[in-house]
Amino acid sequence: MDKEDVSDEQSNYDQRLDNCYAEKRYGANIELISVFGLFVNLAVNSPVN
């Protein structure tokens, strides 16, 4: 295996890691948004005393 192959492997690996982290961040944001939406929904729907 020459140096070219190794660096290609490394960049592919880095790319996959980046994708994984991006998906994790995106997933967390979706959860936050849905929880936030739930609170807003409760606040809007609850009768004001």
Summarize pLDDT for 19-37 with one digit per residue, the tens: 777 777 777 777 888 889 8
Q: Looking at residue 12, what is its pLDDT?
A: 86
Average pLDDT over residues 12-22: 81
pTM of the model: 0.39
**Alpha-carbon distances of 1 from 4, 9, 29, rounded to whole Å:** 8, 11, 41
| pLDDT over 80 (residue 39) | yes
With pLDDT > 90 as the criterion, what percentage of the chain qualifies?
Answer: 0
Host H or E run for residue 4: helix 3-45
| pLDDT over 70 (residue 49) | no
**Alpha-carbon distances of 13 from 10, 16, 17, 19, 47, rounded to whole Å:** 5, 5, 6, 10, 53
| pLDDT over 70 (residue 1) | no
